[in-house]
Amino acid sequence: MEEIRLIEVKEEIQADNKAKAEALRDRLAAHKTFLLNLMSSPGAGKTTLILRTIEALRNDLQMSVIEADIDSMVDAEKIAATGITAVQLRTGGFCHLDASMVEKGLEGLDLASLDLVIIENVGNLVCPAEFDTGAIKNAMILSVPEGDDKPLKYPLMFTVCDVLLINKIDYLGLSDFNVEAVRERARRLNPRIKIFEVSAKTGQGIAGWTQWLKGQVDEFRSG
Amino acid sequence: MHELPVTEGILKIVLQHAPAESVSKIVRIFLEVGELSDLEDEWIQHYFDYLSKGTRAEKAELVIQRIPIMFQCDQCANRFEIKREALQDLQCPECGSTECKFVSGKGYYIKNMEVV
């Protein structure tokens, strides 16, 4: 019987992805291209919010969108209809994007001519929170119909995001969703999180969000 | 679903650390997983059994240890551990402040492994 030996490994499993994400951030800094990673559940309004953001900022910023979908082109077609370049990444069953997938999406874009690239991550509140995409800032949407208990169910997502957009506030009258409770729960997990209440459908509150985003892009580009 | 890429990562790393000249078989792998990271222990073993077929890590057992969630208070700098279920009432046990930032308790690490 051979003797069992212990080998020290001491390695982070996602070290590869983290290194790729850091390298990507260096490249983005060199090109002065701001990368925003947008995450949410399916149906929370990522695509509609991106369309609103394009509408508000297209005269000020050169933008592109990377669309991640398990297996469809529907969202990318909606973005492309605005005249903004959209790159479709089919994740082939994967539930999230990682830095190398984003790298692949960026291959189709001329970074030097872009100020802002928005990643529409795969719709779910679990897996995307685990993988650094190389983005400069992470944003998430929680929509009113999903319920105000989500910070309790998906705490990691709320701790990794810089911004929380509470979307579909036009539904508030029809629901028992408690905005203050969400603000409090999100802030407990992440006191630095910036919170906007919006309706991507009606446009309510969108200006606050797009002005903040524009400010972040300007600050990054002048830094 | 992110168990699959995580499992691929584990296999790649353990094989790198177990050169064929000195290791004939990896028996047990000790992992540390943050309490805040969602991971199905059972699934990760299933994925590993599938991916590791025909390698030196075939039939290795994955032993998962959970790493506690730690926050640090912005006000008094106290570092404290908190259970996942208690996150909704998160506040500094020393000074009561609710301005606390996340320090650790997510991610996936390979600590060591038993080999023959």
Nearest CA in chain A to B92: A188
Q: How far is B65 from chain A (nearest CA, A)?
A: 14
A–B interface: beta-carbon pairs under 8 A:
107
Nearest chain A residue to B1 by CA: give it. Answer: A95
Give the percent of chain A with pLDDT over 90: 88
Which pLDDT value is given to residue A93?
72
Q: What is the CATH number of domain A15-222?
A: 3.40.50.300
pLDDT tens digits along B4-33: 889 999 999 999 999 999 999 999 999 999
Cα separation values, B86 from A159, A161, A188, A207, B40, Å: 15, 20, 11, 36, 21
Q: Which residues contact A55 (CB under 8 A, 6 or more apart)?
A: A82
> pLDDT tens-digit profile of A12-42?
999 999 999 999 999 999 999 999 999 999 9
CB–CB of B1 and A12 under 8 A? no
Residue A1 confidence (pLDDT)? 62
Nearest CA in chain A to B3: A127
Residues 6 or more apart from A120 whose CB is under 8 A from it?
A: A38, A46, A47, A50, A65, A66, A67, A68, A75
Q: Which residue of B has its CA nearest to A4?
A: B116
Length of chain B in residues, anyone? 116
CA dist., res. B37 & res. A160, Å (int): 12
pLDDT at A124: 92
Domain ranges of chain A: 15-222
- How do residues A127-139 score in pLDDT, each as one tens digit? 999 999 999 999 9
Task: Give residue A223's pLDDT.
Answer: 82
Where in chain B are the domains?
Answer: 3-115
Q: Is the dihedral of CA A102, A105, A109, A115 positive or negative?
A: negative
Distance from the Cα of A193 to chain B's closest Cα (Å) equals 11
pLDDT digits (tens, 9 = 90+) for A92-127: 777 899 999 999 999 989 999 999 999 999 999 999
Query: What is the distance, to the nearest Å, from the Cα of residue B36 to the centroid of all Cα atoms in its chain?
Result: 10
Judging contacts by C-beta atoms under 8 Å, the chain B residues touching residue A155 are 36, 84, 87
Which CATH number is associated with domain B3-115? 3.30.2320.80
Instruction: Grade residue A47 by pLDDT with cuts at 50, 70 and 90.
Output: very high
pTM of the model: 0.93
Cα A9 to the center of its chain, rounded Å: 33
Contacts of A152 in chain B (CB under 8 A): 87-88
The predicted-structure confidence for A145-190, as pLDDT tens digits, reads as follows 999 999 999 999 999 999 999 999 999 999 999 999 999 999 999 9
A191 closest CB neighbour out of B100, B110, B112: B100
Q: Which residues in chain A touch residue B63, judged by CB atoms under 8 angstroms apart?
A: none
